[in-house]
Amino acid sequence: MDSLRFNSLVIHAGQAPEATSGAVMPPIFQTSTYAQEAPGVHQGHEYARVTNPTRSALEALLAGLENGTDAMAFASGCAAMDALLKILRPGDEVLSVNDLYGGTFRLMTKVFEPYGIRFRFLDLTDLDALKAALTERTRMVWIETPTNPLLNIVDIAAVTTICRAHSPRVITVVDNTFASPYLQRPLDLGAHAVVHSTTKYLGGHSDVVGGAVITSDPELIEHVRFQVKTTGAVPGPMDCYLVLRGIKTLSVRMERACRNAADLAEWLNNHPDVKSVNWPGFPGHRGHEIAKRQMTDFGAMVSFTLKQDDVPSAHRFMSATRVFTLAESLGGVESLISHPVSMTHASIPREQRLQAGLGDSLIRLSVGIEDVDDLRADLQRAFDSLR
């Protein structure tokens, strides 16, 4: 199966018909424990916090997609990140992007910082800034790309090369939620570990919350497996099944969503009521050349500011759409629209976010797989509501 191409791997990686019945899809093993023939003699499963066959099937698939040796599934993306971050010890330093996902920022600064771990947030598109920030205490570099909601692109290969040259102690992690393995595979670009919120593109249907860590690094595998067994933030078998089922159509969903997003980005870019559009597919985008190199397409996330660049106009715009649903989250089959300034990024002071390029009217689209003509008409209806 390893020789299969990505579009086949999403269906077949780590998946074999179930042994006792020949079921083509992995059954939902709704059990907490497993019978043993004699003490310590069993068929590979002892207790469901540690392993569950439905979860194992999902993990094998995720490992295949990210080209890692091992994957560990979690009850949420945050639980996956928490397990990985627990490798840190007091005195360690972590470097990360300055427009990090809000939940990750909160986890780092509110949960881990009080234990004496230092987090610094910088512009990782600036490789000189990265080199200057690395110290002998740096234990981890945490990358997000594309970033949320400005869609900046970090050069994964360049960052991991710099970190590996700096010290073998530095663990490079990529949160690959925004891209999905369909668009980019960070382990192939030198990262030690990938984390996912499978809630987003991998699940793909906005019907499940989940997370995962994927890696080929023996130390990280041992650490994360120990966390799974010991702290137990594991997903139930039904949730694993939903993510598995969602992943089967990852390629076809991404293909359509990226095409829709490209269409809408071009249209918005030429729209008289739009001030600016963030989408890495534009040749003028700061990270365009890197995106072309490290991604297979430019993704289905688009953000833009209105010519009437104020909060009330953004609110009016978002109340007028009918196909785009006003909601947080992303990566589902349905298109979502959100206003980061009053939703996900409300806690950032105005001056600070303006400096980062996060304007008052910034609107973020998670473009789904509907008919693009309906999506365009829906956005035009919202523009009309501003008059």
Ligand X SMILES: *Cc1c(COP(=O)(O)O)cnc(C)c1O
Any idea which residues carry the catalytic annotation?
Answer: 49, 101, 175, 200
- Per-residue tokens: 162: 């710099």
How many secondary structure helices (H) and strands (E) does the chain include?
14, 12
Place of tokens 């009016």: 316
Q: Is 103 a binder of ligand X (CB under 6 A)?
A: yes
CB nearer to ligand X: pick between 101 and 317: 101
Contact 340, 314 (CB under 8 A): no
Stretch that binds ligand X, among 16-24, 196-204, 247-255, 261-269 (CB under 6 A): 196-204
Find the binding residues for ligand X in span 136-175 (CB under 6 A): 144, 148, 175
How far is residue 38's CA from residue 337's CA, in Å, rounded to a whole number? 56
SS3 call for 181: helix
To the nearest whole angstrom, how small is the minimum distance from the Cβ of residue 197 to ligand X? 3
CB nearer to ligand X: pick between 15 and 76: 76
To the nearest whole angstrom, how small is the minimum distance from the Cβ of residue 277 to ligand X? 21
How far is residue 158's CA from residue 224's CA, in Å, rounded to a whole number? 26
CB nearer to ligand X: pick between 186 and 211: 211
- Strands of the sheet with 211-215, listed across from one edge: 70-74, 211-215, 193-197, 171-175, 138-144, 93-97, 118-122
CB nearer to ligand X: pick between 59 and 144: 144
Closest CA to 297 of 124, 123, 179, 190: 179
Q: Is 119 a binder of ligand X (CB under 6 A)?
A: no
Q: Which of 119, 178, 241, 324 is in the footprint of ligand X by CB under 6 A?
A: 178
Find the binding residues for ligand X in span 198-237 (CB under 6 A): 199-200, 209, 211
To the nearest whole angstrom, how small is the minimum distance from the Cβ of residue 207 to ligand X? 13
Closest CA to 198 of 230, 238, 244, 154: 244
**Residue with the CB atom nearest ligand X in the bound state:** 77
- Cβ burial of 263 (10 Å; 0-12, 13-18, 19+) is middle
CB nearer to ligand X: pick between 143 and 320: 143
Find the binding residues for ligand X in span 65-84 (CB under 6 A): 76-78
To the nearest whole angstrom, how small is the minimum distance from the Cβ of residue 374 to ligand X? 25
Closest CA to 341 of 303, 384, 375: 303
Q: Is 338 a binder of ligand X (CB under 6 A)?
A: no
The count of C-alpha atoms lying within 13 angstroms of the C-alpha of 235, restricted to the half-sphere facing its C-beta, is: 35
To the nearest whole angstrom, how small is the minimum distance from the Cβ of residue 228 to ligand X? 16
CB nearer to ligand X: pick between 178 and 324: 178
* DSSP for 221-265, written as a single string: HHHHHHHHHHH--PPPHHHHHHHHHHHTTHHHHHHHHHHHHHHHH
To the nearest whole angstrom, how small is the minimum distance from the Cβ of residue 377 to ligand X? 28
| Contact residues for ligand X, defined by CB under 6 A | 76-78, 101, 103-104, 144, 148, 175, 177-178, 197, 199-200, 209, 211
